[in-house]
Amino acid sequence: MLTDELKIEIYRMMYLAQTWEQRLLRLLDDGLVSGFYHAGRGHEALEVASMVALRDDDYLLYDHRGCAHMLAKRMSMVSLFGDFLGNDKGSTKGLGAGIVHIADPDHGVLGQSGTLGGGHVLAAGVGLSIKLRKTDQVVVNFFGDGAANRGTFHEGANVAGAWKLPVIYIVQNNGWAISTPQSQVTAIESFAERAAGYGMAGVSIDGMDPFLVYETMAEAVERARGGGGPTLLEGRVVRFRGHYEGDPGTYRSKEELAAGKDLDPVVRTRLRLLEDGLRTEEELDRLQHDVDAEIEAALEEALTGTVPGRERLSEGLYV
């Protein structure tokens, strides 16, 4: 159930994800991290609220769109910064992570397939593992409308449906596969329509509304834990920035982008909390101030890390 406390927590984490990313982009401007970053601004509601509906021992295969899902899955901010900085504070101990390949097994963060859509089949395997081990965990696999078209989706979704695996496929549909609009490469309007073909539940929602995301996700999680099988959850979202930092964005009209930005989930959720009287301006300001301080402290610690030498290359390939 979506309690008032959960609403506050969702807002806090969305604000954290947004602010964390702003801080990362400043590091990028300073030349401290690479431009292979795919900003998640605009996607916070879908990534955060869905993760808040999970337990610590549930699994996440994230996608490259920002880091809100990882942060909401309690991935350490020091590790995240360290991975971007390519130093030994990172989860990969300096392998350098751009945005892919950050992991945290203790919080179920299993990593990411660098080839888009590679996670579709891994997720089905994780679902099978959960079923064979007879736990009530679930696994969530994030991907965009672009990666929704990989053949791996067919193979993963087919077994997930056939064997009623506890997999939740979340497609972050922002309508653009880099520069290619969805309408140009798919005949359908909603990817949720595809779910029926795999015998799984399919639902398409406004992914800019975090409370709706939470409620929808909670249903999918309950279904998965109870043996009811997988869900394909489409969240319709807006990508506020380019596909990557430096993307000229010439393919999208200014009007479309401006209209999308009016739906800012972080701004609108703050207003909702105020309107509903859940918190006062002062309380939310204090919450944000605390988050800002938390981020700065994490960054400060991450910056003390050391970039490893050549010997790091050969570590961890084999057991």
Question: Residue 247 Cβ, how far from another protein at the closest point, in Å?
Answer: 24
CA 110 to CA 142: how far, in whole Å? 12
306: number of Cβ within 10 Å: 9
- Catalytic residue check, 251: yes
- Catalytic residue check, 239: yes
Question: Residue 120 Cβ, how far from another protein at the closest point, in Å?
Answer: 8
Closest C-alpha among 222, 146, 152, 168 to residue 60: 168
Helix (H, G, I), strand (E, B) or coil at 8: helix
**CB nearer to another protein: pick between 300 and 315:** 315
**CB nearer to another protein: pick between 92 and 204:** 92
Would you say how long the chain is, in residues? 319
**CB nearer to another protein: pick between 66 and 161:** 161
Q: What are phi and psi of 167, to 5 degrees?
A: -115, 135
Instruction: Find the catalytic residue in 65, 107, 241, 243.
Output: 243
**CB nearer to another protein: pick between 50 and 137:** 137
Residues at the contact surface with another protein, assessed by CB under 8 A: 59, 90-93, 95, 100-105, 110-111, 113-115, 118, 120-130, 132-133, 139, 151-152, 155-156, 158-159, 162, 315-319
| C-alpha torsion sign, points 96, 99, 100, 105 | positive
Residue 276 CB-density burial (10 A; 0-12 exposed, 13-18 middle, 19+ buried): exposed
Instruction: Find the catalytic residue in 239, 241, 270, 279.
Output: 239
Question: Residue 38 Cβ, how far from another protein at the closest point, in Å?
Answer: 17
**CB nearer to another protein: pick between 249 and 308:** 308
Region of residue 94 (left: phi > 0; alpha: psi -120 to 50; beta: else): left
Question: Residue 148 Cβ, how far from another protein at the closest point, in Å?
Answer: 15
CA 239 to CA 165: how far, in whole Å? 30
Is 46:237 a contact under the CB 8 Å cutoff? yes
CA distances from 312 to 113, 301, 304, 316 (A): 21, 21, 18, 8
Question: Residue 28 Cβ, how far from another protein at the closest point, in Å?
Answer: 22
Is 278:4 a contact under the CB 8 Å cutoff? yes
Instruction: Find the catalytic residue in 26, 55, 251, 286.
Output: 251
**CB nearer to another protein: pick between 52 and 124:** 124
CA 41 to CA 263: how far, in whole Å? 12
Label residues 89-105 b or e (16+ Cβ within 10 Å = b).
bbbbbbbbbbbbbbbbe
Question: Residue 276 Cβ, how far from another protein at the closest point, in Å?
Answer: 40
Question: Residue 122 Cβ, how far from another protein at the closest point, in Å?
Answer: 4
**CB nearer to another protein: pick between 18 and 91:** 91
Lookup: tokens for 42: 């605009």
Give the active site residues.
Answer: 239, 243, 251
